[in-house]
């Protein structure tokens, strides 16, 4: 069986705790790999390596950093398929989807290649007699990233490229469910010339996470995962004096107005609800049909959903793969099984689905629930599987009120041909990322990604300008170079007026 070990100081470091976690191929249900689970002492050793590396990396020139980042970009580009294969083998998503995740992560490396422009400070000359003021931004030191299973390459790349471009050193704690992609990313960074200790990968579970949150030498923590853990990370890391951004779960709504192109809306709903088997934090999990279009829209979604081909992620014919674990599959199924009792009409029931020749895989088919009640479990919880809920609203206002009543506020979308309604929606909706006729409005790398309410704890979104701000701290330098010919001003105890 393959073993995934830590990557510390530019090399593989074997796990020393004696604890390992199982990594499963979701398409077969077989345990293919074991991943080392770090103890608090091993986490400390990695942080010490990163702290040591910061002494020189934090002082390195921007030219030296961008040289590495450009080389890294080229290596990632050349290894897209290899990274995607690792993702599919442990996460289960189809290869094309895994390639998309690599591409979106690469976008942040490209942003980091331009750090020279992003890190330019500000200068005000002659604010007073011979006085200039400069604002500069400096790295924080050692920063940590804790990432979820659903994007094992992209989410780490939302974090470390910008963190190291800003001069920090990084300790990444990836999901223990699909750990291999993270090691590949770190190996390639070393190959690109990133000095040893600048990017370290420590595998583990709650023990490793809590050790990072408590560590006095960790200056900041970026977290992406579920809402309960995001809340724990934010509370604990903040109490320990760290800067923290903690992105949580979601329930993303798509509001479809009566004037929308219903075929385009149905295409978008099916792609956004069932892509990656619904295991995306920006998946559409609730469609709100406004006015009398509900029945027609549900029928169009059903027709399309029934045609989706489910199978192993490494089969080019598959459009949707399995879920991450059997336990998660059973939990997702329980929402579908309980839906009718809680008032929903089950239009498609994906439970009990299996793929011939892969009977032990974590399969589930596509489910479509109509007339879902807002107080039902299927609506209230983030299911994180291929289950789409449809709700009905009489008016635009009722639809917006329904969406705004959700405790989550990650992404949302409106489908309409009415520019005025779309404009109102942008301003009135309580979510961090809004799509107008775009179902999954993930911002491009040079904007920032983040939700509102229970979808993000902290005040920085991730990557883009917010990312650079998060990984640096500001300093303002006020300088006077007096002209000796003017003599000394003398003592003045007053406050400058
Ligand atoms: P998770 O919260 O279970 O795990 C995330 C990370 O936290 C992992 O590294 C895990 O090892 C660690 N962790 C788990 N339990 C912990 C505990 N009790 N104490 C300390 N650390 C712990 O999330 P997941 O199941 O891996 O990922 C799916 C979730 O992530 C979904 O809720 C999804 O919406 C969310 N997500 C959010 C975004 C976003 O940008 N908002 C992006 C991707 C995923």
Q: Give the residue, by CA position, lying nearest to ligand 1 atom 13.
A: 206
Q: Give the residue, by CA position, lying nearest to ligand 1 atom 21.
A: 206
* pLDDT-derived band at 481, boundaries 50, 70, 90: very high
Reading the block at residue 343, the tokens are 């008032």
pTM attached to this predicted model: 0.98
Rounded to 5°, angle at Cα 467 from 8 and 78: 55
Contact 224, 448 (CB under 8 A): no
Contact 175, 325 (CB under 8 A): no
Judging by DSSP bridges, how do beta strands 345-348 and 284-290 pair with one another? unpaired
- List pLDDT tens digits, range 258-310: 999 999 999 999 999 999 999 999 999 999 999 999 999 999 999 999 999 99
Q: Give the residue, by CA position, lying nearest to ligand 1 atom 19.
A: 206
Q: Out of 19-28, 336-345, 420-429, 484-493, which region has the weakest mean confidence (pLDDT)?
A: 484-493
Instruction: Looking at the CA of residue 149, tell me the nearest atom of ligand 1.
Output: 26
**Distance, C-alpha 106 to centroid of its chain:** 14
CA 349 – ligand 1 centroid, Å? 27
Tell me which residues are annotated as active site: 281
Task: Kindly tell me if the per-residue pLDDT of 257 is higher than 90.
Answer: yes
Q: Which is nearest to 283 in space by CA: 331, 320, 329?
A: 320
Instruction: Looking at the CA of residue 456, tell me the nearest atom of ligand 1.
Output: 41
Computed over every residue of the chain, the mean pLDDT equals 98
Contact 325, 26 (CB under 8 A): yes
Length of the chain, in residues: 497
Strands in 20-108 per DSSP E: 20-25, 30-36
Contact 243, 264 (CB under 8 A): no
ipTM of the predicted assembly exceeds 0.85: yes
What percent of the chain is modeled with pLDDT above 70? 100
DSSP secondary structure string, 222-233? EEES-HHHHHHH
Residue matched to tokens 């109102």: 424
Reading the block at residue 402, the tokens are 């329904």
Residue 8 three-state SS? strand
Mean pLDDT of 156-160: 98
Instruction: Looking at the CA of residue 248, tell me the nearest atom of ligand 1.
Output: 41
Distance from the first to the final alpha carbon of the chain = 73
DSSP secondary structure string, 89-105? HHH---HHHHHHHHHHH
> What pLDDT does 496 receive?
74
């Amino acid at each position: 069986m393959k073993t995934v070990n830590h990557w510390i100081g530019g090399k593989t470091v074997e796990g020393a705790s004696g604890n390992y976690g199982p990594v499963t191929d979701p398409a077969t249900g077989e345990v293919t790999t074991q991943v080392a689970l770090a103890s608090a002492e091993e986490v400390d050793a990695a942080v010490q390596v990163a702290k040591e590396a910061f002494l020189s990396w934090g002082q390195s020139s921007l030219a030296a950093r961008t040289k590495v980042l450009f080389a890294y970009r080229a290596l990632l580009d050349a290894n897209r398929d290899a990274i995607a294969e690792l993702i599919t083998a442990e996460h289960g998503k189809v290869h094309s989807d895994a390639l998309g995740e690599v591409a979106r992560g690469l976008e942040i490396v490209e942003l980091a290649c331009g750090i020279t422009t992003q890190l330019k400070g500000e200068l005000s000359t002659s604010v007073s007699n011979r006085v200039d003021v400069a604002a500069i931004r400096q790295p924080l030191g050692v920063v940590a990233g804790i990432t979820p299973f659903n994007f094992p390459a992209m989410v780490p790349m939302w974090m470390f490229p910008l963190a190291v471009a800003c001069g920090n050193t990084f300790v990444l704690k990836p999901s223990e469910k699909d750990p291999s992609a993270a090691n590949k990313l770190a190996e390639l960074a070393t190959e690109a010339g990133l000095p040893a200790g600048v990017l370290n990968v420590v595998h583990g579970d709650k023990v490793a996470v809590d050790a990072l949150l408590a560590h006095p030498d960790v200056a900041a923590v970026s977290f992406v995962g579920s809402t309960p853990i995001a809340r724990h990370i934010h509370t604990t890391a903040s109490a320990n004096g760290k800067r923290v951004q903690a992105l949580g779960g979601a329930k993303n709504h798509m509001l479809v107005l009566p004037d929308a192109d219903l075929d385009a809306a149905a295409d978008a709903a099916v792609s956004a609800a069932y892509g990656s088997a619904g295991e995306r934090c920006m998946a559409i999990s609730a469609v709100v049909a406004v006015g009398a279009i509900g029945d027609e829209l549900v029928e169009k979604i059903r027709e399309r959903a029934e045609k989706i081909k489910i199978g192993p992620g490494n089969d080019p014919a598959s459009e949707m793969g399995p879920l991450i674990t059997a336990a998660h599959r059973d939990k997702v199924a329980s929402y579908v099984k309980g839906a009718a009792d809680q008032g929903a009409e089950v239009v498609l029931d994906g439970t009990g689905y299996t793929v011939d020749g892969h009977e032990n895989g974590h399969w589930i088919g596509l489910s479509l629930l109509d007339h879902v009640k807002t107080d039902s479990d299927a609506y209230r919880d983030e299911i994180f599987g291929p289950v789409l809920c449809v709700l009905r609203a009489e008016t635009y206002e009722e639809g917006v009120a329904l969406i705004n009543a959700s405790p989550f506020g990650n992404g949302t979308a409106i489908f309409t041909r009415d520019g005025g309604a779309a404009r109102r929606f942008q301003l009135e909706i309580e979510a961090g990322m809004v799509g107008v006729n775009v179902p999954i409005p993930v911002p491009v790398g040079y904007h920032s990604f983040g939700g509102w309410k229970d979808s993000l704890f902290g005040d920085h979104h991730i990557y883009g300008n917010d990312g650079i701000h998060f990984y640096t701290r500001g300093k303002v330098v006020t300088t006077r170079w007096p002209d000796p010919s003017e003599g000394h001003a003398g003592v003045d105890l007053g406050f400058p007026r």
